[in-house]
Structure 1
């Protein structure tokens, strides 16, 4: 879809109810495209959504889908789920089955071709296949050959050559399998519907001194939302009053509730468990994190995966080929070899039924719908079938260090003042200097001073200067102090850093710590070692990835080699690359791709954007808190939890395996059935079992992806 087309036309999105198969969705899309005033249209079968470019009323759209009795509503509305009793919903199938049994009994008592038997079978065909025939005949008139057209031709052909019983059996089997297929697809789509029902549709809002229930569509940014214990958040916002623990499982997949206090961010759809919270709304209902997740999941299901694109191309040539084969089977033996016409017309009809590509067409989308829905429920947002399949084939994973394998929160692990230096007085001066710094490690030093109750905020610093890439300097009490890297003091001191101090620095760096040196331009006064704490589950995650068959895990960092190696050894990655600039990370990812073909990169989605973009699959940590991660990454782990990565790899590999199984099975079973034509053993009921049975088994096989758990 070109940008010009999107801009030049009104774009409207609708929800669709009533799809029974992927082929029907494609036909509906074609019908909508032919409507006056519509320039283009696209169907998202997995999410049951229609996007229309141009002008079309709901009545016109429903008329375009009349062959399936489709119902259309605007995207923001929801269908009312009507619970119909099974017997009422499928009364025509049950009546058809009753007539089939009567026909069989009449055949047993009066002979198979007797009038009572034919009448009962005819009633079974008409009652059970009325909707099938009306659609099939319309399609046949317009030369549109889908499953219903082929079934209609086959059943009418069976009646013409006197196979009334088989025609009735085929109608019953078709109706049952269609009902089961619809149920299976609804089950797969339920994962999205459950996401849509997570957030409440209204909230208690305070405006001025008044409080009242307001629909989420009418809530404005800046409104104060009051959330009582046991209630769900209706909107994203920031806590301005109160303290509580909030269950964020719906958004991030975390099972353990998270403590929330003033200034903490909360998300729509999360559950307030304990205290009363007052939350200032920060986003409109369409911009909340859960709304973005739903939108991205639905869009992900519309994106064609490589295997789906292959299947679509294959089916385009496969269906006409099958029709030619069916015609050949029906006419060649009688014309060339004098064989019985009714026998071979019957065989041709059976080929027509068995050759329908329903199972093949649905083999990929149902797997992708199920897998992406399962991932979303577990706090992993996969933004397309292509990324799901690519992750399943990944051989190497590159990790950013800070904030991914480590917590990204530096702490002071050692403070080593030199002989004759007043420990607290000097640390107060260093903290006062760092208070003016933008360096990530400055907060660790200030936190250390706060723990010791040192009055660094009262210490006056003059002539503060940042020495880019080296450190900082400033004057306190008419004396100039420096805080920076060992390299800075090698330049400052006339004879460089003394060997005994160098030995201490090297030892600390080998432990994975970043060492800062403090002092003047004539002497070193202290060493401060700062370390980024490794996540508790990093080692376990790396071990699980190796057990899943990932050949290479590489840690990429801008930190020094000593620190990098210490962290790498601690978590168990197979390789470490240190002292890398962003462009170096990018070059290394390209090098990895040339060696391993498919490479994933996991980072925070912001700092590592070039490397994430260059990898086969870019994975962002903590997507729930950052719009950038949601927008830029191929996959977002919604919680700041590395433990979701092995689950994502396991799910994608299972999905890839099931897609391959489905394609192989749906083609294999048709080949076997077609070979039965040679000895003349292919019957209509075998054909319907081969086609509808394959479709049903493919769908049920895909639903196994719902059972993949995050353990």
Structure 2
């Protein structure tokens, strides 16, 4: 479908996948429409060509669909019990009860209860009959066709009461299905309502309230305490704690100050912020999340593809079986009325509603729940795949570790810690080396005023370190090799022992000293994330093989790997080596995930069964390339995602098994002639409602 000509509309009122397919076909037939595609999970239709909302609502009149422009405000539906479609059910049910009481008084064959039952059938089933007869004229067999044949057949053989009961139970089933599908979609709909539709904007000296569609990149957005941000941007003034749960799933507010990135839909808790807008409303991180989740809900899971294929052959088979049961036994002396009734009951029980809805409701619910908890799952296929993972490979830097070097140990010889830190920071100030920045941060944390220390004759010693004069004393800062060469007798044995001990812990050690002595050992390491150890423990408990992949040396890798508890450690790897190792893992375990930053590890992420990107809020590359994106920089979202996927897989299997089992049991009741229309409709309606309610249990899976 050509994106340039594509127009998106929101749809309210879908009850079933089949109805969505009929609506799609109806839209395709509209004048001026070249193509149309319905996304049932996200409740929207994409139209290529020109049409109007009135024409689209006419195409969806059979289902009383309400259509609105994608950007228009959501039309609040009446409460469920007040909806127009449901009023007909109440009237039909009242007529059914009155007719049943009349039949008790006058007998079932009397004209009064018969008229009452007939009215109940017509009022409650008018939309059903219109769809069913239209389908019958086209030889299209779906649940509406099967129900229409069954109800008309029941009336023809004099079973007016049961025909009316079937109509009413079916109408109740559809209403409850509509209600439960709305519940399943509520996760994504709540995301759409997160960001405000207006913001206070300053242009020049003038402040004004502006609709988000009219806010431009570069506008200054003023956000007061207690307000939500309407747009993505960079803080230019102010400091405040922002609740980012809607975007990243983080429950703890995050402090934001000048030059920090902020996202639409987050809540400003305390301070006044001025934010320079960096993205248009359609490009915000929240807008991207909503778009990706909706696309994911439209993706078919493998089990759904199986169900759809099965249903394609199943429905005609049921119609054939019903025809055989209606005709074959009477030809061998059976009672025509009895066996036609049994055949009609088979048509009702054979409706594939529960089977067809068994997978998509679970997928829509699980993906919506994940999005609310800061995890983007790109489709049903990845949802199912994650539940089957046997091994997970982690990039080390920035995934298991924070990716930012930090000073872990300061060992001094004859001087105070503050003194050696101040001298080292003064010498390293201005250096671009990551280890230098770690020392500067440590000195700042100690409140040392190292920038006022006068440094003279600074000189870099290539590959080994630096030297400079501080207070007329020449100091050296650098690697152990530098001091082995500088000191006349090399490094003392006791200092060397401490140095080796720190290196065995996977730390990089820098030394401060003069030409005569060593004054300090400063150990720097990429710190392990607080969550890494616990997450790896949980995954190992689940029986998942955990692997750490890194380009670091063997010693550092071993120290970090041992600390977090991974099963396997692979060091000194180039990007190509990571890719080959993932391929090897897939050969051994079939279903393998790779967790990385979504940029450096792109080849390995692509080669894995599931590529998981870390800390993806605001990272466009990760959002677009990964199969699953963990929006916050929190590995704890990984066990939650696996748990949700396993639960979704289990529920999908339960739904398919139950849907088929209840049909089989009901069909077997034909043998002794016990199957009635009442049992048939309860079996069909009950199965559909139970699989839908079972799927809604996925809303309760929490981090």
Structure 1 and Structure 2 fold alike (TM over 0.5): yes
Residue 261 of structure 2: aligned partner = 265
Counterpart mapping for 1:151-550 below 5 A: 151-335=147-331, 337-415=332-410, 428=423, 432=427, 435-437=430-432, 439-450=433-444, 451=446, 452-455=448-451, 459=455, 503-516=497-510, 527-547=521-541, 549-550=542-543
Partner of 1:605: 598
Matched residue SS, 1:530: strand
**Cα distance in 1 between the residues matched to 2:138 and 2:394:** 56
Deviation at 1:356, TM superposition (A): 1.5
Once the two structures are TM-superposed, the CA of residue 348 in structure 1 deviates from its matched residue by 1.4
C-alpha deviations, 1:247-270, integer Å up to 9, x for none? 111111222111122122211111
3-state DSSP class of the match of 2:2? Answer: helix
Partners of 2:641 and 2:529 lie apart in 1 by 19
Match of residue 636 from structure 1 = 629
* Count of residue pairs the alignment pairs up: 699
Q: Does structure 1 residue 111 correspond to structure 2 residue 104? A: no
State the alpha-carbon separation in 1 of the partners of residues 23 and 327 from structure 2: 33
Indicate the residue corresponding to 1:590 in structure 2.
583
Instruction: Give the Å deviation of 1:674.
Output: 1.2
Q: Please give the per-residue CA displacement for 1:644-671, whole angstroms capped at 9, x wherever unaligned.
A: 1111111111011000100111111111
Structure 1 residue 484: deviation in Å? 6.6
Q: Secondary structure at the match of 1:601?
A: strand
Q: Which range moves more in the overlay, 536-545 or 286-295?
A: 536-545
Counterpart in the other structure of 1:658:
651
Q: Distance in 2 between matches of 1:597 and 1:481?
A: 56
Distance 1:412 1:75 in 2: 51
* 1:139 equivalent in alignment to 2:148: no
SS at match of 2:679: helix
Q: Specify every segment of 5 or more residues in structure 2 that has no aligned partner in the other structure, as ranges.
A: none
Could you tell me which residue of structure 2 aligns to residue 676 of structure 1? Answer: 669
Q: Structure 1 632/472 Cα, relative in aligned 2: closer, same or farther at 3 Å? A: farther
Distance 2:547 2:232 in 1: 36
SS at match of 1:625: coil
The structure-2 alpha-carbon separation of the partners of 1:426 and 1:695, relative to structure 1 and needing over 3 Å to count, comes to closer
Length-normalised TM-score, structure 2 = 0.92
How far apart, in 2, do the equivalents of 1:669 and 1:367 lie? 19
Asked if 2 retains the 8 angstrom alpha-carbon contact of 1:589 and 1:614, the reply is yes
Aligned counterpart, 1:23: 18
CA apart distance, 1:601 = 1.6
1:486, 1:517 within 8 Å by CA — same for their partners in 2?
yes
Give deviations 1:495-535, integer Å, cap 9, x for gaps. 99887766444311222312346789999997542112222
- Conserved? CA contact 2:427–2:458, under 8 Å: no
Instruction: Report the Cα offset of residue 472 of structure 1.
Output: 6.2
Q: Aligned equivalents of 2:222 and 2:349: distance in 1?
A: 60
Contact 1:432-1:460 at 8 Å conserved across structures: no
Q: 1:170 Cα deviation (Å)?
A: 0.1
1:123 is matched with which residue? 119
- In the alignment, which residue of structure 1 is the partner of 2:686? 693
Superposition deviation, residue 230 in structure 1:
1.1
- Distance in 2 separating the partners of 1:510 and 1:408: 19
**Distance in 2 separating the partners of 1:85 and 1:612:** 45
Q: 1:138 to 1:486 in 2, by over 3 A?
A: farther
User: Counterpart in 2 of 1:563?
Assistant: 556
Deviates more, 1:158-167 or 1:399-408: 399-408
SS in structure 2 of the partner of residue 220 of structure 1: coil
Bigger shift: 36-45 or 154-163?
A: 36-45
**Taking structure 1 as reference, are residues 449 and 350 closer, same or farther at Cα in structure 2, changes over 3 Å only?**
same
Instruction: Give 5+ residue unaligned stretches, structure 1.
Output: none
Q: Is the 8 A contact 1:394 1:550 kept in 2?
A: no
Secondary structure of residue in 1 paired with 2:45: strand
Q: Is structure 2 residue 600 aligned with structure 1 residue 615?
A: no
Please state if 1:41 is matched with 2:36: yes
Task: State the 1:51 CA deviation.
Answer: 1.6
SS in 1 for 2:35: strand
Separation of aligned partners in 2, 1:310 and 1:657? 16
- Distance in 2, matches of 1:64 and 1:246, equals 45
Structure 1 residues 158 and 28, CA gap change in structure 2 (3 angstroms): same
Instruction: Name which of 547, 561, 568 aligns with 1:575.
Output: 568
Distance change (3 Å), C-alpha of 1:430 and 1:193: closer
Looking at structure 2, the residues matched to 473 and 109 of structure 1 have their Cα atoms a distance apart, in angstroms, of: 107
Pair 277,421 (structure 1): closer, same or farther in 2 beyond 3 Å: closer
| Counterparts of 2:476 and 2:574, CA distance in 1 | 25
**C-alpha separation in 1, matches of 2:415 and 2:245:** 54
Q: Secondary structure at the match of 1:76?
A: coil
Post-superposition Cα deviations, 1:455-486, rounded to whole Å, max 9, x if no partner, equal 4996467786875xxx6668889999997766
**Would you say the 8 A contact 1:362–1:695 is kept in 2?**
yes
* 2:614 equivalent to 1:627: no
The Cα RMSD (Å) is: 3.1
Structure 1 CA distance for aligned equivalents of residues 77 and 15 of structure 2:
17
